[in-house]
Structure 1
C-alpha cells in the first residue's frame, strides 16, 4: 500500500509540478503528516524532491527530472483503452491524434502489459447512441471543441423549440458533453452557464476574442446539476395509473429514464390480482398518452380526467377500427 502511494505521489509531482502538502494530502487521501514522511522517503531513495518555502511554496521535482515508472497494474493496463472512445474522438476531429497516442502508449508499456491493454480494445466496444437512433449530424462540433480548448468567444445561430425558433447567441464555450449519442455545448451566456444541443447550431463564427475561464468551473458537476434541473422542468404534470407488475418491469426498457425511475419509486404493493398503483411524471397529456400506450392493456389511467378521456377515445377508436377490419 505504501509503495503504491509513493509512486502516486511521485507521479502527481511529475504531472502537476509544484504541489503543497495539503494538496498532496487531499489527492492521496492521507494526512499531511503522512505526506511529510513519504516525501522524506522519496528523498532518501534518491528522488530529487525539493520544498519551496513561503506562501506560494510547495514540493516539486528537480527541473528536468522525469521517471519512466508508470505504476500500472495488470488491471489498469487492461482497462487503459476502454477510455479511447474512437467514435466520439473521430467526431471531435481527433481520430488520428487518438490513434497516434495509442500507438505511442502501447510502445511505452512493457510487453505483457501492452498485450493485455491492446486485447481490451479487441474485446470491449463503446456504442454511445441509444437503440434505433443514428448519430446526429454535428458539422460544427470540431470547431466548437477547438474554441473550448483555445478559450475563444463564439457567435452562433441556434434553433430552439420555442418562438422565435432561430436566435443568435454570443457565448464563452466552457466544454462539450456527449450524452446518449448527442453532443451538447456548455457555454456561458453573459454570467450564466447553459447547455446547447450542438446539432441545433445552424451557423458558427469563432471570434479572435478570448475570455477568462472561471477557475472554479467544474464541467461534470455543472452537467449533473443541469441535467437534473432539466428533467424536473420537463415533467410538469403527473398521471395516476393502475398497472400490472409486468408493466412496471417493462418500463425501464420502453420509457424515458426519469419517468420509469419515478414510477418505480412511487409504486405501491402488488395486489392478489397482480395490479399496483403508482404515479408517472408526464410532460403533457399528449406525451403521457403516447408513452403509456406502450404498455397496452396492462395499464389504466385514473387521473387526470383529460388524459383518461383521451385513452377512452383511443380505446373506442381501436375497437371500431378492428371490428370493421375483422368483418
Structure 2
C-alpha cells in the first residue's frame, strides 16, 4: 500500500490491472485516481474511469503504474465528494423490492448478511416473518439462495421468483450428475 500511496502523490493517471468480481482475469484500465479509503475493513482506490467514479478493491488490484499524464479529475469533485456518491450508491436500498417469507430462526443471520437491504420485517405467531428486501436489480436475488429452504420469495412473482427458480434448477442440475 505504501507504493500505491507514493504513486497517488504524483497526481498522475494510473494504469491498473484489476479483476472485477465477476471475472476470472484482470483487465488493464487507465484511471484518474482521487485517493484511497477504508470501508468495513477493506481498502478501496477511488478513481474515475472514463469520467465516471468507481471503487476498486485493493484486494483485486494486481498491479499499477503511474503514467506520465497528469490526472484529469472532474471539476468540483474531491476524494470526499466522489466517495460520498459511491458510498451512497453502494449502500442505497435499491430499485427492486422483494417480498419474502423468512423463518424467524434465520432473521438474525439475514440481518447480518443483508444489512440495510432489509427495509421491513413483520413477524406474526407462525415460524415465518415477512421481509421486504431492496436490491438494485433482479440478478441480485441470487443472494437469497443461501437461505435455502428457510426462505420463500413471494414477489415480484414474474421476476424474482422466476430468477430464483432458474438459479435453483441450475444448482440441482449441476449437483445431480457425479462430480467430474
TM-score in same-fold range (> 0.5):
yes
- 1:189 and 2:61 are equivalent in the alignment: no
Give the SS at the match of 1:216. coil
- 1:257 and 2:115 are equivalent in the alignment: yes
Q: Tell me how far apart the structure 1 counterparts of residues 95 and 57 of structure 2 sit (CA, whole Å).
A: 19
- Conserved in 2, the CA contact under 8 Å of 1:185 and 1:197? yes
Backbone CA RMSD of aligned residues: 3.6
Q: Which runs of 5+ in 1 are unaligned?
A: 1-140, 315-327
Mapping of 1:61-72 within 5 angstroms?
Answer: none
Q: Tell me how far apart the structure 2 counterparts of residues 271 and 200 of structure 1 sit (CA, whole Å).
A: 44
TM norm structure 1: 0.41
Report Cα offsets for 1:297-320 as digits up to 9, x if no partner.
xx4414326647949x99xxxxxx
Give the number of aligned pairs.
162
1:276 maps to what in 2? 129
Report Cα offsets for 1:181-206 as digits up to 9, x if no partner.
22111112232222211222222222
- CA shift, 1:228, in A, is 3.0
- CA shift, 1:286, in A, is 4.0
Q: Tell me how far apart the structure 2 counterparts of residues 232 and 165 of structure 1 sit (CA, whole Å).
A: 29
1:46 maps to what in 2? none
Give the SS at the match of 2:76. coil
Report Cα offsets for 1:125-155 as digits up to 9, x if no partner.
xxxxxxxxxxxxxxxx322222322312211
Q: Tell me how far apart the structure 2 counterparts of residues 221 and 289 of structure 1 sit (CA, whole Å).
A: 35
Q: Tell me how far apart the structure 2 counterparts of residues 242 and 154 of structure 1 sit (CA, whole Å).
A: 46
Q: Aligned match of 1:170 in 22, 30, 41?
A: 30
1:267 maps to what in 2? 121
Compared with structure 1, are the counterparts of its residues 214 and 235 closer, same or farther at alpha carbon in structure 2 (3 Å cutoff)? closer
Mapping of 1:1-327 within 5 angstroms?
Answer: 141-162=1-22, 165-211=25-71, 213-214=73-74, 216-231=76-91, 238-244=98-104, 247-253=106-112, 255-259=113-117, 262=118, 265-268=119-122, 270-273=123-126, 275-281=128-134, 283-284=139-140, 286-290=142-146, 292-293=147-148, 299-303=150-154, 304=161, 307=164, 310=168
Give the SS at the match of 1:153. strand
- Conserved in 2, the CA contact under 8 Å of 1:241 and 1:280? no
Q: Tell me how far apart the structure 1 counterparts of residues 24 and 151 of structure 2 sit (CA, whole Å).
A: 38
Using CA pairs under 8 Å that are at least 6 residues apart, name the structure with larger relative contact order, 1 or 2.
2
Structure (1 or 2) with the greater strand fraction: 2
Q: Which runs of 5+ in 2 are unaligned?
A: 155-160, 173-180
Compared with structure 1, are the counterparts of its residues 233 and 185 closer, same or farther at alpha carbon in structure 2 (3 Å cutoff)? farther
- Conserved in 1, the CA contact under 8 Å of 2:33 and 2:71? no
Q: Tell me how far apart the structure 1 counterparts of residues 102 and 93 of structure 2 sit (CA, whole Å).
A: 25
TM norm structure 2: 0.67
